[in-house]
């Protein structure tokens, strides 16, 4: 919680950690948050979730978070599910990023946005390879968008291309700014 960065993310969803993801358990998450919020918060705190959580598991995390000044959720980390995979030689272990997990992340954005009525900042992450992909997450409820695989494949100029594309898409739909588009498909 030092001076670096604009926000802090607590990653409770690393798909490669030894011992699994203990903090998706609400009792353990509660002990973690209790300790964390004993330190005075200087910047927003987000929780990074696994896209493999079902709705009931997500809801129990939301229930615990209600009691603490959590600002939002990063939806999401990579998936352990082997869905939408074309490469048959893929290793059995490890998280999958990019297009195969886009839909899982988008479903989680929708669920949290609907369930909490837009109370939290949602950082949409997973499978963003175009302005349209980013815009979809915004319309579902994300007010920030992150991309990792997209930048690896397309390079750093890709961010500027997406931002210009977003301006075009917002104008096309008659929005004056991004805030107006956040969550429109889930209101």
Ligand X SMILES: Cc1cc2nc3c(=O)[nH]c(=O)nc-3n(C[C@H](O)[C@H](O)[C@H](O)COP(=O)(O)O)c2cc1C
Interface residues with ligand X (CB under 6 A) are: 11, 14, 48, 77-78, 97-98, 125-128, 147-150
- Report in angstroms how near the CB of residue 116 gets to ligand X at its nearest: 20
What are the structure tokens assigned to 132, written together? 């349209």
Nearer to ligand X, 113 or 129 (CB): 129
Nearer to ligand X, 18 or 172 (CB): 18
- Report in angstroms how near the CB of residue 79 gets to ligand X at its nearest: 9
- Report in angstroms how near the CB of residue 97 gets to ligand X at its nearest: 3
Nearer to ligand X, 166 or 175 (CB): 166
Which residue, judged by CB position, is nearest to ligand X in the bound state? 97
Contact 21, 50 (CB under 8 A): yes
CA distance 110 to 107: 5
Q: Which class for 100: exposed (0-12), middle (13-18), buried (19 or more C-beta within 10 A)?
A: buried
Nearer to ligand X, 142 or 175 (CB): 142
Across the beta sheet with 144-146, the strand order is: 8-11, 45-49, 72-75, 121-125, 144-146
- Report in angstroms how near the CB of residue 80 gets to ligand X at its nearest: 12
Bridge partners, residue 122, by sequence: 73
- Report in angstroms how near the CB of residue 139 gets to ligand X at its nearest: 18
Q: Which class for 105: exposed (0-12), middle (13-18), buried (19 or more C-beta within 10 A)?
A: buried
Nearer to ligand X, 150 or 183 (CB): 150
Nearer to ligand X, 62 or 162 (CB): 162
Q: CB under 8 Å, gap of 24 or more: what pairs does 16-24 form?
A: 16/93, 16/94, 16/95, 21/50, 24/50, 24/53, 24/57, 24/61
- Report in angstroms how near the CB of residue 176 gets to ligand X at its nearest: 28
């Amino acid at each position: 919680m030092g001076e670096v960065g604009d926000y802090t993310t607590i990653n409770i969803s690393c798909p490669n950690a030894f011992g699994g993801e203990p903090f998706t358990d609400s009792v353990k998450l509660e002990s973690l948050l209790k300790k964390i919020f004993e330190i005075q918060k200087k910047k927003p705190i987000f929780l990074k979730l696994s896209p493999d959580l079902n709705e009931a598991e997500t809801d129990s995390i939301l229930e615990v978070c209600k009691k603490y000044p959590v600002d939002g959720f990063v939806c999401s980390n990579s998936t352990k599910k082997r869905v939408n995979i074309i490469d048959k030689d893929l290793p059995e272990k490890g998280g999958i990023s990019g297009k195969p997990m886009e839909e899982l992340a988008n479903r989680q954005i929708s669920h949290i946005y609907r369930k909490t009525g837009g109370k939290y900042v949602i950082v949409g992450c997973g499978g963003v390879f175009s302005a349209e992909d980013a815009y979809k997450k915004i319309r579902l409820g994300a007010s920030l968008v992150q991309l990792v695989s997209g930048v690896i494949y397309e390079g750093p100029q890709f961010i500027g291309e997406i931002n210009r594309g977003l301006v075009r898409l917002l104008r096309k739909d008659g929005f004056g700014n991004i805030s107006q588009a956040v969550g429109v498909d889930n209101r």
